[in-house]
């Protein structure tokens, strides 16, 4: 009998490392589960009950927007295209629909994190699947994700559509720079990123707030993506009119203007600018002129900073700024809408690491200069010396602290111990500290829009013309 071939030490090392990683991931998801129980609220798929009930109601021949949930009287508030997408759930039990949404949402989050962490993991030599698993577990525990899953919401699915366009822009930039994808026609079309804008067009047809990304495309002169997004939205909306004309007319001519169907602005889970102003004035609705003035200011700030991030080659930060701005200026932004804090934390953490690496490179250059050498002698100036140094130790601490602080804020979510509802309770029932805590998530969003750093050249949606020409020449060779 032939002797079994023993695996070499390298194979054994890889196997052992992967086993350890799987154990760590299992521990991370268990920890996230307990964190949801510790910091979250009791969840019973509240919104999914409305969606499922509306789908069943609509399938039985009734008008979609005439539906009112038996216990709460709440109705369907999304555009009719969303109703069409949700209509298949009328044919499955409520519990099955709810858990299918949980699984689909977690898969959507995993796909997004896989895409976002790709450039970062390559830069630092991380295992991409391990980094993705850890971040999915960490993200699942914080307020926007646990509320989305627990309420049966669709925010992570919309998040996937929006971030898919960011990936498409990244792919299209690479293709235009000469890195042409190989494979069949379908692979070349997908990897070429020509479809950038479709995801945002679909997301805006399901929920109106992603339409702000179209304005961002116009501001940054990404005409093709803007045209594709608008054309997609018009096409699916027109198609919905052909299938459900009566309900489409009811929505676009009436329901879209019935803001009271969504809820009062002062409700604690509304962490938008309008919610902050309503609670500060201790009124059910925000003062209209004041809200509009500050909303225009935040819109200008968010779009201008996003345009600057785009111009400096950081499309991820640009998208994050637009998403956060949409949360701030929307009349209603429930806590489960705030999913863009996830990539904001990623940007802050990566900015901290990039600054630390840059400081190491500067310190290495100083040491080489003192020895009579130049930084180019150190591997072409591309890799800093990995020697112990003291001065750069605190470099990046500001951004790292911000990343940890934002994560802990959205993990604990201090708004709930200070939840108040007019007219029963004033929003100043617990004094100024209670008012600060009740508005803490919204204030964090506003600060992020104003201060979130971008990372020059990190993930460009375009390449300079000279680089594009040079790379095409290299590709032709």
Domains of the chain, residue spans: 264-477
pLDDT value of position 179: 74
> pLDDT per residue over 90-126, tens digit each?
999 999 999 999 999 999 999 999 999 988 998 888 8
pLDDT value of position 392: 53
Q: How far is CA 131 from CA 141, 216, 473, in A?
A: 16, 30, 35
> pLDDT per residue over 274-291, tens digit each?
999 999 999 999 999 999
Which residues have CB under 8 Å from 338's CB, separation 6+?
143, 144, 271, 327, 410, 441, 445
pLDDT value of position 248: 93
pLDDT value of position 387: 42
pLDDT value of position 360: 66
> pLDDT per residue over 415-442, tens digit each?
999 999 888 899 999 999 999 999 999 9
pLDDT band at 176 (very low <50, low <70, confident <90, very high): confident
pLDDT value of position 358: 73
Count helices and strands in the chain by DSSP H and E runs? 20, 0
pLDDT value of position 376: 46
Of the listed ranges 35-49, 147-161, 368-382, 418-432, the least confidently predicted one is: 368-382
Q: Is pLDDT larger for residue 372 or for residue 127?
A: 127
Q: Over the range 326-348, which residues count as b (16 or more CB within 10 Å of their CB) and which as e? A: bbbbbbbbbbbbbbbbbbbbbbb
Q: Is the pLDDT of residue 468 over 90?
A: no
Q: How far is CA 166 from CA 46, 169, 229, 344, 348, in A?
A: 31, 5, 12, 15, 18
The pTM of this model reads: 0.89
> pLDDT per residue over 56-72, tens digit each?
999 999 999 999 988 88
**Do 158 and 349 meet the contact criterion of CB atoms below 8 Å apart?**
no
């Amino acid at each position: 009998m032939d002797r079994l071939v023993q695996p070499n030490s390298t194979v054994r090392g890889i196997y052992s490392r992967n086993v350890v990683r799987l154990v760590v991931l299992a521990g991370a998801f268990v920890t996230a589960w307990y964190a949801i129980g510790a910091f979250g609220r009791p969840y019973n798929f509240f919104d999914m009950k409305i969606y499922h009930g509306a789908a069943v109601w609509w399938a039985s021949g009734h008008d979609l927007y005439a539906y009112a949930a038996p216990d709460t009287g709440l109705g369907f508030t999304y555009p009719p295209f969303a109703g069409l997408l949700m209509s298949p759930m009328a044919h499955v039990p409520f519990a099955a629909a709810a858990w299918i949404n949980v699984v689909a949402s977690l898969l959507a989050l995993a796909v997004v994190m896989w895409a976002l962490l790709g450039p970062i993991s390559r830069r630092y030599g991380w295992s991409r699947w391990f980094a993705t698993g850890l971040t999915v577990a960490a993200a699942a525990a914080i307020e926007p994700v646990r509320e989305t899953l627990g309420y049966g919401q669709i925010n992570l699915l919309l998040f996937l559509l929006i971030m898919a366009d960011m990936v498409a822009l990244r792919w299209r930039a690479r293709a235009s720079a000469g890195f042409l994808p190989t494979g069949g026609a379908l692979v070349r079309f997908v990897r070429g990123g020509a479809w950038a804008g479709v995801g945002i067009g679909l997301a805006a047809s399901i929920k109106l707030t992603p339409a702000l990304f179209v304005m961002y495309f116009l501001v940054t002169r990404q005409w093709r993506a803007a045209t594709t997004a608008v054309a997609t939205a018009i096409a699916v909306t027109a198609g919905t009119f052909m299938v459900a004309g009566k309900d489409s007319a009811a929505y676009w001519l009436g329901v879209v203007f019935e803001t009271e169907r969504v809820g009062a602005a002062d409700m604690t889970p509304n962490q938008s600018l309008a919610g902050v102003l309503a609670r500060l004035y201790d009124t059910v609705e925000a003062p209209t002129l004041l809200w509009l003035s500050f909303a225009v200011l935040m819109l200008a700030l968010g779009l201008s900073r996003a345009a600057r991030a785009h111009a400096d080659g950081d499309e991820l930060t640009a998208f994050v700024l637009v998403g956060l701005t949409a949360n701030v200026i929307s009349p209603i932004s429930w806590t489960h809408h705030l999913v863009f804090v996830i990539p904001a934390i990623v940007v802050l953490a990566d900015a901290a690491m990039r600054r630390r690496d840059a400081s190491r490179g500067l310190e290495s250059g100083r040491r080489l200069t003192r020895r009579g050498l130049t930084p180019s002698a150190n591997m072409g100036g591309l890799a800093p010396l990995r020697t112990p140094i003291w001065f750069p130790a605190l470099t990046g601490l500001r951004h790292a602290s911000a990343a940890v602080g934002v994560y802990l804020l959205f993990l604990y979510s201090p708004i709930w111990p200070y939840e108040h509802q007019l007219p029963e309770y004033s929003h100043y029932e617990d004094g100024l500290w209670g008012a600060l805590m009740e508005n803490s998530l919204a204030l964090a969003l506003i600060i992020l829009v104003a201060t979130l750093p971008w990372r020059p050249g990190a993930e460009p949606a375009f390449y300079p013309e000279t680089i594009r020409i040079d790379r095409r020449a290299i590709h032709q060779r």
